[in-house]
Amino acid sequence: MELSESVQKGFQMLADPGSFDSNAFTLLLRAAFQSLLDAQADEAVLDHPDLKHIDPVVLKYCHAAAATYILEAGKHRADKSTLSAYLEDCKFDRERTELFCTEYQNNKNSLETLLGSIGRSLPHITDVSWRLEYQIKTNQLHKMYRPAYLVTLNVQNTDSQSYPEISFSCSMEQLQDLVGKLKDASKSLERATQL
């Protein structure tokens, strides 16, 4: 993990009981996790009365350092020993190291889910709807009598947050072909999971 000097300096400040007493430390730590993971996080997450006595610049600096470190650790799936090693390097005492590791462990899953969801991917199919119709006549052709399906795939684009739909028509044979191919795919998937 590559971390900049400012992260280290921020942590060193956090390690100092003179700048951050136990309570303030815990609050700042929780605030860092909350602002990353809580979708509705308040911008005033650092506005707790128990943090008022600390210089706001210092608060922000340490908050940023903590958040950066948490994200890097999550990205590289750091384990407890890696975390402890780094924190001890930043002069954290045992109690604070334990606290950090516990908080990290509690939030690990949400953090990994969040990081995993960032990124571009192909449009993602979320649902399908279908309609069966029986065609009897068009203005060009009477007495048709043919069943047909109209299939709509609901698709989600990760980056643009748009929800286009893909609709197409098909005959019964074509739908059977489509379903057959999708079943092949799911059988392959099942076999792959058993390897």
Partner 1 sequence: MLLELSEEHKEHLAFLPQVDSAGQGARGRRSVGWGGGPKAEPGTQQPLNFIAVVAEFGRIAVEFLRRGANPKIYEGAARKLNVSSDTVQHGVEGLTYLLTESSKLMISELDFQDSVFVLGFSEELNKLLLQLYLDNRKEIRTILSGLAPSLPSYHNLEWRLDVQLASRSLRQQIKPAVTIKLHLNQNGDHDTKVLQTDPATLLHLVQQLEQALEEMKTNHCRRVVRNIK
- In the complex, the smallest distance separating the C-beta of residue 104 from partner 1, rounded to whole angstroms, is 15
Choosing from 39, 189, 194, 195, the residue that interacts with partner 1 (CB under 8 A) is 189
Return d(Cα 94, Cα 17) in angstroms, integer.
Answer: 13
Q: Is 100 exposed, middle or buried (CB count within 10 Å of its CB: 0-12, 13-18, 19+)? A: buried
- In the complex, the smallest distance separating the C-beta of residue 117 from partner 1, rounded to whole angstroms, is 9
Return d(Cα 18, Cα 70) in angstroms, integer.
Answer: 23
Choosing from 140, 160, 161, 194, the residue that interacts with partner 1 (CB under 8 A) is 140
Residues in 80-119 that interact with partner 1 by CB under 8 A: 112, 115-116, 118-119
Choosing from 60, 75, 80, 94, the residue that interacts with partner 1 (CB under 8 A) is 75
Choosing from 54, 58, 67, 178, the residue that interacts with partner 1 (CB under 8 A) is 178
Nearer to partner 1 by Cβ, of 39 and 57: the residue is 39
- In the complex, the smallest distance separating the C-beta of residue 147 from partner 1, rounded to whole angstroms, is 6
Contact 33, 70 (CB under 8 A): yes
- In the complex, the smallest distance separating the C-beta of residue 49 from partner 1, rounded to whole angstroms, is 35
Instruction: Count CA within 13 A, CB hemisphere, residue 172.
Output: 6
Strands 146-156 and 124-135 turn out to be antiparallel
